[in-house]
Amino acid sequence: MPINPDAVGSTSEPHEHSWTEKDVMLYALGVGAGTGELQFTTENTMDTPLRVLPTMAVVLGVGGFGAVGKIGTFNPAMLVHGEQAIELYGEIPTSGTVSTVGEITGIWDKGKGAVIVTESVSTDVSTGKPLFKNTMSAFIRGEGGWGGDRGPSGPRNEPPERAPDHEVTYHTRDDQALIYRLSGDRNPLHSDPAFAKLGGFDRPILHGLCTYGFTGRALLHTLCGSDPARFRSMEGRFSSPVYPGEALTVRMWVEGSSATFQTCGEDGRVVIDSGRVTFS
């Protein structure tokens, strides 16, 4: 069965997901936080109560992508995570349960492939109020060519032609992917050397959403004074894989209460582009 463009508007069944303080700390360690960020990595400090990194929304909002099952059949190995955005309606609590419903909001014909866009809203079960929204796009190679709308294209969130206002470099660990995968994404591409070689890589690569989390930490500490309550939204496009052990440099261009950003690998290539963050 080919891709069905009429699936736009289809929704997933509600999916509940719960987390605890242990999950919060494990996620923070998975995206590189450590002894210098104890408000995110331990509950045992007298002066800094545990808080949640805003990008943890990407692992808490699981289930929303289930709506993609309604677009037809495709080879999952041909699917590539293209873009990711989060919008937060309040600070994420250190424990709780959310109910997530996803919706297919776009199916675009790119010729050599199809782009599927989903939005999923996660509601705090204890309050009944939306807590955050995830928007993601996935490119499925070999599934285009049905003559449909190509959808939006062209550059966006381009940084201005001047030096960045801020630049932060973090070093990932050689075993970073092994830590991050414990937050839920067990894809062997990130842990099994033999499987990675089948995918065309000489060794396992880092999860794109781990790079996203490293980037979010840099934005949080630099633009929000390390206060998750000030972090409003973040979006970006994955443009190059990252290997565990690489240094990541986040460049930020600030304009009022928003900023464009790029994340670069240690050789200078851009690994997340079209980046934009809003904050208060």
Residue 52 to residue 21: CA distance in whole angstroms: 9
Task: Give the C-alpha distances (Å, rounded to integers) separating 41 from 50, 184, 263.
Answer: 7, 18, 23
Q: CATH assignment of 166-279, given 3.30.200.100, 3.50.50.60, 3.10.129.10, 3.30.230.10?
A: 3.10.129.10
Assess contact for 272 and 211: CB atoms under 8 A: yes
pLDDT of residue 154: 85
User: Within its chain, how far is the Cα of 80 from the centroid?
Assistant: 13
pLDDT of residue 16: 97
188-204 residue pLDDT tens: 999 999 999 988 899 99
pLDDT of residue 1: 47
pLDDT of residue 136: 96
Positions marked catalytic: 185, 190, 205, 208
Q: Is the pLDDT of residue 249 over 70?
A: yes
- Asked if the domains at 5-141 and 166-279 fall in one CATH topology, the answer is yes
133-187 residue pLDDT tens: 999 999 998 999 999 999 998 889 999 999 999 999 999 999 999 999 999 999 9
- Residue 69 pLDDT level (bands cut at 50, 70, 90): confident
Under CATH, which architecture does the 5-141 domain have? Roll (3.10)
Whole-number average pLDDT of the chain: 95
Structural tokens at position 128: 């009944």
Please list, in sequence order, all residues whose beta carbon lies within 8 angstroms of the beta carbon of residue 198, skipping any fewer than 6 positions away. Answer: none
Q: Give the residue extent of every domain in the chain.
A: 5-141, 166-279
Residue 83 to residue 78: CA distance in whole angstroms: 16
